[in-house]
Amino acid sequence: MKALLALEDGRTFPCRSFTGPGETGGEVVFNTSMSGYQEILTDPSYSGQMVTMTYPLIGNYGVNPEDVESDRIHVSAFLTREYQPYPSNFRSTSTLADYLKAQKVIGIEDLDTRALTRHIRNGGALRACITTQDLDPASAVAKARQVPSMKGQDLASIVSTTVPYQWVDNRPHPIDMDTRAMDAGIWQHKGDRLRVVAFDYGIKYNIVRSLAQRGTEVIVVPAETKAEQVRAMDPDGVFLSNGPGDPEPVDYAVATIRDLIGFKPIFGICLGHQLLGLALGGKTYKLKFGHRGGNQPVKNMSSGKVEITSQNHGFAVDMRSLAGEEISITHVNLNDNTLEGFQHNSLPLLAVQYHPEASPGPHDASYLFDEFVEMMREHG
């Protein structure tokens, strides 16, 4: 089925839909991963975005119920060069097309993804419209210009869980708030395991899994949970998750984090990194086209080693805004020298901009979860 991708700057790309008719808008971005498309589709950090895969052949290993990173697809559209309709993998239970259709997400092929990616790299991430219903370029461009800008949007409150949940048997179990109170009695393994309260700004399942694999008990709470509720739960540590959108409008989270600084060890990832930076007095800004993919080089400033990391973010913390005696820069991106990690020199706080839990991506940075666990033990 013929389709048209229109960008807000007036450029259009002819293409085809492999999921049937549809029309949607969002910020168009690109991801350089060669695999892991199901994890990318279900990553809440992609809410409001159309994801372009730079690897040309997508769909060749199908999908399965085990590789999801949340309870649903979050991308507004999925853009590929060539869709493979006949998957071959022993784990596959469905085709990518059927998976997208079931959740009413449009999938695109026969798109010049190389030209689109080069255009985004030169001009920056752009608002876009993808349509099979209105193939008039001028009309589609006008629709692209009506898409809300990513800057200024609080999307964390939209994708966050509405009820707290525990991670049991490798899946989320909602807590019955009619029979359970948000206090120290909520933990199942009282005194036997380190207790982590994880704020859900768009959390990926493999983050919770990575914490649980290290012997911690994790309770995931909604993004708007107050500091006094966390204090009443008496955890050993606080985790700040990844998530979509601009960190600055998420002011309620910044206020809560600021109130929790010094209470217990805090570890932030991605949006959590940005929110912690804001809580410490830093500033954030929108990157030209962001970092998205499983092959992003980051230098560990203490060891001098280069880590290949999984990343997905369009905003960053201004490194200069955190300059001072209290904060140490721990990681720097080797592509553009932007801030990728920091820690506090006297308080148990650390944060990284990338994804040490991967899924998809390499595991070079998984040691950071071990550092967080050790931090909780030291300050218990």
pLDDT per residue as tens digits for the range 268-312: 999 999 999 999 999 999 999 999 999 999 999 999 999 999 999
Distance, in Å, from the CA atom of 60 to the CA atom of 45, rounded to the nearest integer, reads 24
pLDDT-above-70 percentage for the chain: 100
Interaxial angle between packed helices 271-279 and 251-260, expressed in degrees from 0 to 180 and rounded to the nearest 10: 70
Residue of 74, 119, 273, 355 marked catalytic = 355
Q: Does domain 2-144 match CATH 3.50.30.20?
A: yes
Is the distance from CB of 52 to CB of 73 less than 8 angstroms? Answer: no
Residue 189: predicted pLDDT: 84
Structure tokens at 51: 């994801």
β 2-7/126-131 pair status: antiparallel
pLDDT of 190 over the 80 cut: no
- Is residue 340 annotated as part of the catalytic site, yes or no? no
Q: Which of 86, 77, 95 is nearest to 132 (CA)?
A: 77
pLDDT of 318 over the 90 cut: yes
Count of CB atoms within 10 A of residue 11's CB? 17
Distance, in Å, from the CA atom of 129 to the CA atom of 127, rounded to the nearest integer, reads 7
pLDDT tens digit string along 360-370? Answer: 999 999 999 99
Distance, in Å, from the CA atom of 262 to the CA atom of 238, rounded to the nearest integer, reads 11
Q: Which of 134, 159, 162, 177 is nearest to 5 (CA)?
A: 134
Count of CB atoms within 10 A of residue 115's CB? 11
Is the distance from CB of 284 to CB of 274 less than 8 angstroms? Answer: yes
Distance, in Å, from the CA atom of 294 to the CA atom of 177, rounded to the nearest integer, reads 38
Mean pLDDT of all residues in 317-339: 95
Q: Any idea how long the chain is?
A: 380
Residue 181: predicted pLDDT: 87
DSSP labels for 299-314? EETTT--EEEEEEEEE
83 half-sphere exposure, CB direction, 13 A CA radius? 21
Distance, in Å, from the CA atom of 204 to the CA atom of 259, rounded to the nearest integer, reads 25
288 half-sphere exposure, CB direction, 13 A CA radius? 11
pLDDT of 85 over the 80 cut: yes
Is the distance from CB of 264 to CB of 232 less than 8 angstroms? Answer: no
Residue 280: predicted pLDDT: 97
Structure tokens at 296: 């992003």
Distance, in Å, from the CA atom of 45 to the CA atom of 326, rounded to the nearest integer, reads 30
pLDDT tens digit string along 193-210? Answer: 999 999 999 999 999 999
- Is residue 357 annotated as part of the catalytic site, yes or no? yes
Residue 309: predicted pLDDT: 97
pLDDT of 380 over the 80 cut: no
Element (H, E) at 339: strand 339-344
pLDDT tens digit string along 144-185? Answer: 999 999 999 999 999 999 999 999 888 999 998 888 888 999
Q: The pTM is what?
A: 0.97
Q: Does domain 156-378 match CATH 3.40.50.880?
A: yes
Is the distance from CB of 4 to CB of 12 less than 8 angstroms? Answer: yes
Mean pLDDT of the chain: 96
pLDDT-above-90 percentage for the chain: 94
The domain locations on the chain are 2-144, 156-378
Place of tokens 């998976």: 99
Residue of 270, 291, 340, 344 marked catalytic = 270
The partner residues of 220 in beta bridges, in order of sequence, read 165, 198
pLDDT tens digit string along 58-81? Answer: 999 999 999 999 999 999 999 999
Count of CB atoms within 10 A of residue 64's CB? 16
Distance, in Å, from the CA atom of 72 to the CA atom of 41, rounded to the nearest integer, reads 8
Residue 217: predicted pLDDT: 96
Residue 325: predicted pLDDT: 84
Residue 169: predicted pLDDT: 86
Give 116's pLDDT tier (boundaries 50, 70, 90).
very high
Q: State the maximum Cα–Cα separation within the chain, in Å, rounded to a whole number.
A: 64
Among the ranges given (89-98, 135-144, 318-327), the one the predictor scored with the smallest mean pLDDT: 318-327
- Is residue 15 annotated as part of the catalytic site, yes or no? no
φ, ψ for residue 238, nearest 5 deg: -125, 130
pLDDT tens digit string along 239-275? Answer: 999 999 999 999 999 999 999 999 999 999 999 999 9
Place of tokens 């020298």: 337
Report CA torsion sign: 156, 161, 166, 168. negative
